[in-house]
A and B are shown apart, each in its own frame.
Chain A
């Protein structure tokens, strides 16, 4: 059945592509990046941005953190610096997109997008499979429409089928599930219309419940095998018994109804499944398969431009530092777009390129807007896209950076069991608990916390890892490199992917002299580097 689904979708998409290609010609990333430059200049009514292009060392660090989620090694930094090729930035991006680290970096990103909005804590059981599923899909060049389709049509045990995580995160409640599908894949916060017609939005309460009507037959059911416990996303088309009590949703219902707000105790009005953006609909009584497959097909079709726009806006925002729309998951028809022609062009081209995820990464990273030198986030009254924004590292990026700068191996995961629910947890998971944030939240509002600062400054684990004793990364470097300036440069390359300035060398050598104990002084220098703003941000 799975196979049949994906074939059906493939055929639908190919037909759609044929239709579109007669109008919009798919352009290469290089062509598209040039076009974006022109359109952006028109949108912003200026010839070029105020800011110069970023240097190679900054570009390298930026591209590596953005695409594969970690810092360059000193070897990578040096070989990029001495490469004379004109097109080395383009080649770098191309090479990074081919590594497996690309998939795992962005799988972790989407894992957070989905799981940070969980209303069911135990959705964390699905976390690891979700990450594996996305890593595998992204690394095997699965197009974005197919990935979205997998989430909408998912079934099975949440510890086995990674795509079930989105439904599991909302415990299969139709309203919450479709609200998330709409937000994540179309950038429309339709749930505002859940209780009342929103005064400033065009979608009506009825349309929200028509969307929920694609999901009544889906439920999340507990699974118990001996002592082991889990959950499964299930669906059914035959109904015998009443739904269970305590507001648990272990079984679906045959149809979705919208309650009359005046009479909340009554069942309400049975809703027909209709996709609000395109108006396509099904009849009452349709099977679960046909509901969810239709929703996926209509949502990802080229007729529904929100699907491409939502993805383009989000990835642009992550790479350039600011979306065309902010917040990035609220791009509805009544929202302001800061560069409408550029946005529409990129979305059209993303469709023309068959929702090819890597095409979009190659295109955006090749634009001038991406390659500008970085600045703080702009104020509201300043022109957008004059610089790439400094971004706080996501927890996974910071963890990977720490691992590489401290020269330690990433610790493996351990099986963890609580009341029969087992999951694998690792040092990375624990670190994410402290440093993670919802990637959909406006980045200006994501603030660092005191426990994070305390962890970086005082954690016994980090203290041990920066100790000058011989078995640490620093200990080895102290033995290998006698010259202080050379060692300072090595630490700067590792932590900042750049050489220290003369002034920084002076500060550090002066410090070493004052302390009088080489090991102790270098511990303090490494401590300062990993606790610095430059280390915890991507420029």
Chain B
């Protein structure tokens, strides 16, 4: 009982942005009239549920391999660097994007486009790590990835399911690092099947029977120096069993959606991933990462980017529309990004190479003001000419949307305090 109380309290405090337990108790007292007749514990739970409802979530659409900005959100039609890709108008006057994203063009009023992202990292593993953690890799500190940060900071403790789910293969995307395995991503290879090892091998009755026998057989070690270990192990097994036996597991089954809804997302792997992401967030997950790729178009950039755009365009637009229709968009930040952009110069194989000096990120939902573009590049897309945005600026901005304090620190394993974001500034126009 007392642990439960303690737990609920921590969750509520985190979500509300209150700074101390005393504030929390005061806040409860202020609402006293409305909850007259409820017991202390009831009130606590009611408050926690209400706060949770206001909790933020994030869906990261990870464009693995480094998407070409010229073929997606920054076409340079008419300039030789733009190649054969044409620009089309969108539902926001003055914003043009690539012709390969016609559905996205219809939801740009919800999208804030940053065209002035830049970094120094041009190798896949280092850049993927940087865009996922906000830090360049080093041997001494294992920095946590965005999803782990979110699940540690604003995770939903009442959820049976894991609060951070990663769908598809995102190379070099990192894990919980020094935050510890409880914040690691729950990895799914595909959105089209239940997650690995979550289907019980026999009947539920037999499963319970086995758990019962296991509990009895632990007794000997428990009595002989293993008390602590057995208690930890039991806690973990209870948590894992709770996932498997939870009715919330239905969230993983996209077949429960109508055929019309599934069609709207399309039947591609990425489409299924986006639909599943929405279902998970709806159930209470804090962070869902869905990977698409491979955008590493060193050759045949134009035909391959077009194909990739076709895979991504419809599900992306549908995800934003669907979240909006369900009233979830305001509290769900959707981030579209990859590890870097691609070279303005088209190489001899019709490809574009790695280019971290100027690339795009698209933000939507989560309090972001859509229908705007931040930053500019020159006519050939070679350099950022206005409002450069660095990776730590982007991280500050994401934290701001998710109501995470970027200056909060965690201890690394050798006892060094590590801020969630080191340096950088929130790009305030994103929300203005």
**Does A478 touch B at the CB level, under 8 Å?**
no
Query: Chain B residues near A459 (CB, 8 Å)?
Result: 196-197
Docked Cα-Cα span, A179 to B140, in Å, equals 8
Docked Cα-Cα span, A525 to B227, in Å, equals 21
Q: Is B225 in contact with A539, judged by CB distance below 8 angstroms?
A: yes
**Does A156 touch B at the CB level, under 8 Å?**
no
Which B residues between 111 and 135 are near A, CB-CB below 8 angstroms? Answer: 120-123, 125-126, 129
- Which single residue of chain A is at the shortest CB-CB distance from B125? A121
Beyond the given A120-B125, A454-B244, A524-B210, could you list 20 further A-B residue pairs with CB under 8 A, ordered by the A residue number?
A170-B139, A179-B138, A183-B139, A330-B414, A374-B225, A376-B227, A377-B228, A441-B413, A447-B182, A450-B240, A454-B197, A459-B197, A501-B220, A507-B213, A508-B217, A511-B213, A524-B209, A525-B213, A532-B218, A536-B233
Which of A191, A442, A463, A507 is the one whose CB lies under 8 Å from B413?
A442
Query: Chain A residues near B232 (CB, 8 Å)?
Result: 447-448
Render A463-478 as a binary contact track against B, CB cut-off 8 A, 1 for contact. Answer: 1000000000000000
CB distance from A112 to the nearest CB of B (A): 14
CB distance from B72 to the nearest CB of A (A): 21
Query: Chain B residues near A245 (CB, 8 Å)?
Result: 122
Q: Is A457 in contact with B197, judged by CB distance below 8 angstroms?
A: yes
Docked Cα-Cα span, A119 to B416, in Å, equals 19
**Does B325 touch A at the CB level, under 8 Å?**
no
9 residue pairs from A and B, CB less than 8 Å apart: A119-B138, A445-B413, A449-B181, A449-B236, A451-B186, A503-B220, A515-B209, A532-B214, A537-B229
Q: Is A534 in contact with B226, judged by CB distance below 8 angstroms?
A: yes
Query: Chain A residues near B244 (CB, 8 Å)?
Result: 454, 457-458
- Which single residue of chain A is at the shortest CB-CB distance from B139? A117
Render B193-215 as a binary contact track against A, CB cut-off 8 A, 1 for contact. Answer: 00011111100001001100110
Which A residues between 223 and 259 are near B, CB-CB below 8 angstroms? Answer: 245-248
- Which single residue of chain A is at the shortest CB-CB distance from B354? A246
- Which single residue of chain A is at the shortest CB-CB distance from B187? A451
Q: Is B123 in contact with A449, judged by CB distance below 8 angstroms?
A: no
Q: Is B243 in contact with A533, judged by CB distance below 8 angstroms?
A: no
Docked Cα-Cα span, A459 to B200, in Å, equals 9
Query: Chain A residues near B226 (CB, 8 Å)?
Result: 374, 376, 390, 533-534, 537, 539
Q: Is A376 in contact with B221, judged by CB distance below 8 angstroms?
A: no
CB distance from B283 to the nearest CB of A (A): 17
Interface residues on A, range: 35 or more
Q: Is B162 in contact with A183, judged by CB distance below 8 angstroms?
A: no
- Which single residue of chain B is at the shortest CB-CB distance from A375? B225
With known contacts A246-B123, A247-B126, A455-B197, A504–B220 Cβ distance under 8 A: yes
Q: Is B121 in contact with A246, judged by CB distance below 8 angstroms?
A: yes
Docked Cα-Cα span, A455 to B226, in Å, equals 23
CB distance from B394 to the nearest CB of A (A): 19
**Does B230 touch A at the CB level, under 8 Å?**
yes
CB distance from B418 to the nearest CB of A (A): 12
Render A503-518 as a binary contact track against B, CB cut-off 8 A, 1 for contact. Answer: 1100110010001000
- Which single residue of chain B is at the shortest CB-CB distance from A121? B125
Q: Is A376 in contact with B139, judged by CB distance below 8 angstroms?
A: no
CB distance from B233 to the nearest CB of A (A): 4
Which A residues between 84 and 129 are near B, CB-CB below 8 angstroms? Answer: 117-122
Which B residues between 370 and 402 are near A, CB-CB below 8 angstroms? Answer: none
**Does A460 touch B at the CB level, under 8 Å?**
yes
Which of A121, A170, A390, A458 is the one whose CB lies under 8 Å from B225?
A390
With known contacts A327-B414, A503-B219, A528-B217, A450–B239 Cβ distance under 8 A: yes
CB distance from B205 to the nearest CB of A (A): 11
Which of B122, B172, B222, B236 is the one whose CB lies under 8 Å from A247?
B122
Which 10 interchain pairs have the tightest Cβ spacing?
A: A246-B122, A376-B228, A453-B240, A119-B137, A454-B197, A463-B201, A449-B181, A534-B221, A533-B233, A117-B139
Q: Is B217 in contact with A532, judged by CB distance below 8 angstroms?
A: yes
Docked Cα-Cα span, A480 to B137, in Å, equals 55
**Does B269 touch A at the CB level, under 8 Å?**
no
Q: Is B201 in contact with A119, judged by CB distance below 8 angstroms?
A: no
Docked Cα-Cα span, A117 to B138, in Å, equals 8
- Which single residue of chain B is at the shortest CB-CB distance from A467? B201
**Does B237 touch A at the CB level, under 8 Å?**
yes
Residue of B122, B198, B217, B237 with most chain A CB atoms under a 10 A cut-off: B217
With known contacts A330-B414, A451-B197, A191–B139 Cβ distance under 8 A: yes
- Which single residue of chain A is at the shortest CB-CB distance from B239? A450
Query: Chain A residues near B197 (CB, 8 Å)?
Result: 451, 454-455, 457-459
Query: Chain B residues near A539 (CB, 8 Å)?
Result: 221, 224-226
CB distance from B141 to the nearest CB of A (A): 9
Q: Is B180 in contact with A445, judged by CB distance below 8 angstroms?
A: yes
Q: Is B123 in contact with A248, judged by CB distance below 8 angstroms?
A: yes
Query: Chain B residues near A442 (CB, 8 Å)?
Result: 413
Residue of A387, A390, A504, A536 with most chain B CB atoms under a 10 A cut-off: A390
Query: Chain A residues near B313 (CB, 8 Å)?
Result: none
**Does B406 touch A at the CB level, under 8 Å?**
no
**Does A529 touch B at the CB level, under 8 Å?**
yes
**Does A189 touch B at the CB level, under 8 Å?**
yes
Residue of B121, B129, B413 with most chain A CB atoms under a 10 A cut-off: B413
CB distance from B84 to the nearest CB of A (A): 26
Render A179-201 as a binary contact track against B, CB cut-off 8 A, 1 for contact. Answer: 11001000001011000000000
**Does A176 touch B at the CB level, under 8 Å?**
yes
Query: Chain B residues near A192 (CB, 8 Å)?
Result: 140, 414, 416
Residue of A119, A327, A503, A536 with most chain B CB atoms under a 10 A cut-off: A119
- Which single residue of chain A is at the shortest CB-CB distance from B219? A503
- Which single residue of chain A is at the shortest CB-CB distance from B120? A247
Which of B123, B186, B230 is the one whose CB lies under 8 Å from A533?
B230
**Does A345 touch B at the CB level, under 8 Å?**
no
Query: Chain B residues near A179 (CB, 8 Å)?
Result: 138-140
Docked Cα-Cα span, A511 to B224, in Å, equals 23
Query: Chain A residues near B237 (CB, 8 Å)?
Result: 453, 457, 531
CB distance from A185 to the nearest CB of B (A): 13
Docked Cα-Cα span, A288 to B354, in Å, equals 31
CB distance from A491 to the nearest CB of B (A): 11
Docked Cα-Cα span, A449 to B122, in Å, equals 33
Docked Cα-Cα span, A352 to B422, in Å, equals 47
**Does B99 touch A at the CB level, under 8 Å?**
no
With known contacts A450-B186, A529-B217, A458–B413 Cβ distance under 8 A: no
Residue of B162, B224, B225 with most chain A CB atoms under a 10 A cut-off: B225
**Does A373 touch B at the CB level, under 8 Å?**
yes
With known contacts A179-B140, A458-B200, A448–B181 Cβ distance under 8 A: yes
CB distance from B425 to the nearest CB of A (A): 19
Q: Is A247 in contact with B139, judged by CB distance below 8 angstroms?
A: no
Query: Chain A residues near B230 (CB, 8 Å)?
Result: 533
CB distance from B147 to the nearest CB of A (A): 15
Q: Is A176 in contact with B225, judged by CB distance below 8 angstroms?
A: no
Which of A176, A445, A450, A531 is the one whose CB lies under 8 Å from B243?
A450
Query: Chain A residues near B289 (CB, 8 Å)?
Result: none
Docked Cα-Cα span, A441 to B209, in Å, equals 36
Query: Chain B residues near A525 (CB, 8 Å)?
Result: 213
Docked Cα-Cα span, A377 to B129, in Å, equals 34
Docked Cα-Cα span, A169 to B142, in Å, equals 14
